Structure 1
Amino acid sequence: MLLKQSQRTTILSQQQQRLPVQRLFDGRTPLIRKLTHQTQQAKQLLLLQRRQSEEQRAQQIQRPAEEHHSQLQHEQLEQMQMQQKQQKQLLLQRQMQMQQQMYNQQQMQNQ
C-alpha cells in the first residue's frame, strides 16, 4: 500500500510539474509562431536588401566601364572619320594634280 501511495505521489508531482510548463507553452505558442514568422520575414528582407545593394554595386562598377568603352568607341569612330576625310582630300588633290598635268600636256602639245 505504501508503494502504491508513493507511486501516486510521484505521478501526481510529475503531472503537476508538467502542467504549468505545458500551459506556458500553450499560451505562448501563437506568440512564438508569430515571432518565428517575423524573424523569417526579417531574414528574407535582409537577404533581399543585400542582393539589391550588391546588384547596385555591380552596376556602379559596370556602368563606368561601359561608359569608358563607349567613349573609346566614339573616339575611335571620330578618328576613323577624320582619316576618311583626309584620304578623300588627298584623293581630290591627286585628281586635281593629274588633271592639271593632263591640261598642261595638252597645252604643250597644242603649241
Structure 2
Amino acid sequence: MSFDPGSALERLFDEYSRRAKAIRHDLGLPHNADFAEQAQERQNDEVLQALLAEAEAGLRQVGLARLRLAEGTYGQCQRCGEPIEPARLQALPAAECCLACADKHQA
C-alpha cells in the first residue's frame, strides 16, 4: 500500500479537530461550588489549556503541510531543501524538515 499524504493529512486534521473540540467543551463546563473541588478543576483547566494549545499547533502544522502539498513542495525539507525520508513522512505526515535538520534544530 502506498502512502497518500492528502489522506494522511486529512486524518490528522480530523484527529486534532476532534481533540480541540472535546477540550473546548470540557473547558466550557461550569466549576463546582465547593472551593476545594474548584481548585482542583482550575488545575485541570490549566492542563486542558496546554493540551488545547498542542492540538491547535498540530492544526497549524497540518494546514502548512496541506499548503506545501498544494504547492508541490510537500516532502521537501524546509531547511535544507532535501527530500524528507518517506518513513518520516509516514510517521509524521506534517513534518517540515528531514531527520538530519530536525536533529540539528533540537541540539
Q: Which has the higher contact order (CA 8 A, sep 6+)?
A: 2
Q: TM-score, normalised by structure 1?
A: 0.34
Q: TM-score, normalised by structure 2?
A: 0.36
Q: Which has the larger radius of gyration?
A: 1
